[in-house]
Structure 1
Amino acid sequence: MLRRRAASFGHAFRGVTAALRSEVHLQFHAAATVVVIGLGFYFTISSTEWALVALAVGTVWSAELANTAIEALTDLVSPEYHPLAGKAKDVAAGAVLVAALGAVVVGALIFGPRLAHMF
């Protein structure tokens, strides 16, 4: 049983790695994550702020990975254009947009005043 659980983590990491290699948007989110973590260390943000940043980053990554999975599955089951396939892809992309906008708000609230103070 423990071996199966360990294998499932391996599958999950393989999925994240595959998505990172193939999805430009996820690569952008990865770069943004590195910048945000760097800013967090630079500005010595509080534990609560780290928690909010981690939730925002995790939400965006989760939405992007789910979007990638939905797109792949939709392409598999509907290789030709179908309005419902298009709707599924659009809604999944919308979820990423909502998550990303939420993350931008969190980032602006945490880092905005600190960055404004610098200039």
Structure 2
Amino acid sequence: MTSPKETPYVTGNGLARLIAAARNSWAGLKAAWRLEAAFRQEILLALVLLPVAVAAPVTHAERALLLLTLGLVLVVEVLNSAIEAVVDRVSLERHELSGRAKDLGSAAVLLALLTLAGVWGAILLPLLFP
């Protein structure tokens, strides 16, 4: 087994590693935007809901929860896309485990969206219907 320093994917230490990580992260976000329709839809959802979260007359903690759930959906969608890419890279033929991995990733996105709906509903519905 090789140590992390012996792999071709480690890019130095300190600032060089941080810069490389930032480049990789940006490339991942660009790929998600370009290749994943669900990510684009969730970004648009976040852009619509972001002003609501900022303008709503709620506590700082409630505002943080509204914003965190938006971020959670995007994080889970990116992870789901990564799972799907790895599964497809391994093999495009149908396999029970490949299908399970993709279904579990999709279920994670659904749970994140339901969490968003639940948190937003719990915080904002009392403001709309006192």
**Could you tell me the TM-score, scaled by structure 2's length?**
0.82
1:17 aligns with 2:30: yes
- Taking only the aligned residue pairs, the percentage that are identical comes to 34
2:53 maps to 1:40: yes
The separation in 2 between residues aligned to 1:67 and 1:92, in whole angstroms, is 5
Q: CA deviation at 1:116?
A: 4.1
1:96 aligns with 2:95: no
Q: State the Cα distance separating 1:12 from its structure 2 match.
A: 0.5
Inter-partner Cα distance in structure 1 for 2:85 and 2:15: 30
1:49 aligned onto 2:49: no
**What 5-or-longer segments of structure 1 have no aligned partner?**
none
Question: Residue 31 of structure 1: CA displacement?
Answer: 1.2
Question: Comparing both chains, which one has the higher relative contact order based on Cα–Cα distances under 8 Å and sequence gaps of 6 or more?
Answer: 1
Matches of 2:117 and 2:30, distance apart in 1: 24
Structure 1 runs of 4+ off > 6 angstroms? none
Aligned partners of 2:45 and 2:127: how far apart in 1? 18
Partner of 1:87: 100
- Are the structure 2 counterparts of residues 42 and 112 from structure 1 closer, same or farther at C-alpha, using a change threshold of 3 Å? same
Match of 1:74 in 2: 87
Aligned positions of 1:106-117 closer than 5 A: 106-116=119-129
**Is the radius of gyration larger for structure 1 or structure 2?**
2
State how far apart, in whole Å, the 2-side matches of 1:60 and 1:84 are.
Answer: 24
TM-score normalised to structure 1 length: 0.89
The unaligned stretches of length 5 or more in structure 2 are 1-13
Query: CA 1:67–1:2 in 2, change beyond 3 Å: closer, same or farther?
Result: same
